[in-house]
Chain A
């Protein structure tokens, strides 16, 4: 039995918060429109979450193979 190398949902949440902060700052500076951007690209968070779940699975399998 192997434990997770990291928490995919925690990393996704952190990355999303950072991205939201950067985009919010740029929106406040008048560089972009925040809401249309979020409405279009929010599924990228699902893609990131799923990709991290797959990476986590691969890491666990490889660490189990070594032990």
Chain B
């Protein structure tokens, strides 16, 4: 045979003489890898079907609220209640995706021991949210019972935008005042 025979010395000598690779320098990039429990991207992707992202985040009640709000809006729009339910379909859909994204981030923050954003949201210190829900519910109930005709208010719907905008301005000014009062 013309080929050179296998020489174990030549192979075993190479690793013995080669210097071991130097250890990587310790720095801020060498922190231990932590696998976060939730993926915000996956949560947002799953919420393309409303409620599924909330199920992934473990918030079942929210999942049902979003699912029924979405299905209910479509049903009521299809049965002739275009106002206000046609406006609610995209609102509920987009809010559902954002909520799933934020819910996953909050779960990760809790996992890492930080303060989660939804906990802050649960501590709404204003009766506006609860009051608005009661008012909205009573208005729709009265409309359903025939005691009130919401269709007559259709031309006044931009006032709702003014009220919401005014509330945001007020809340932002209050937050600024509170930040100034705390020494900033």
Contact = CB atoms under 8 A, between A and B. Distances in A.
Which secondary structure dominates where chain B touches chain A?
helix
A40 B145 contact: yes
Interface of A: 1-4, 7-10, 13-14, 39-54, 56-57, 60
A39 B144 CA distance: 8
Interface residues of B, number: 27
B141 A53 contact: no
Contacts of B61: 7, 9-10, 13-14
Contacts of B131: 50, 54
Contacts of B84: none
B141 A51 contact: no
A47 B130 contact: no
B13 interface: no
A57 B124 contact: yes
Nearest to A48: B137
20 contacts: A1-B123, A2-B123, A7-B61, A8-B130, A9-B65, A13-B65, A40-B144, A40-B145, A43-B144, A44-B141, A45-B137, A46-B134, A48-B137, A50-B136, A51-B130, A53-B124, A53-B133, A54-B131, A54-B134, A56-B130
Contact of A44 (B119, B130, B137): B137
Contacts of A60: 123, 125
A10 B123 CA distance: 15
A50 B130 contact: yes
B140 interface: yes
B96 to A, nearest CB: 14
B21 interface: no
Interface string B98-142: 000000000000000000000100111111011111111111110
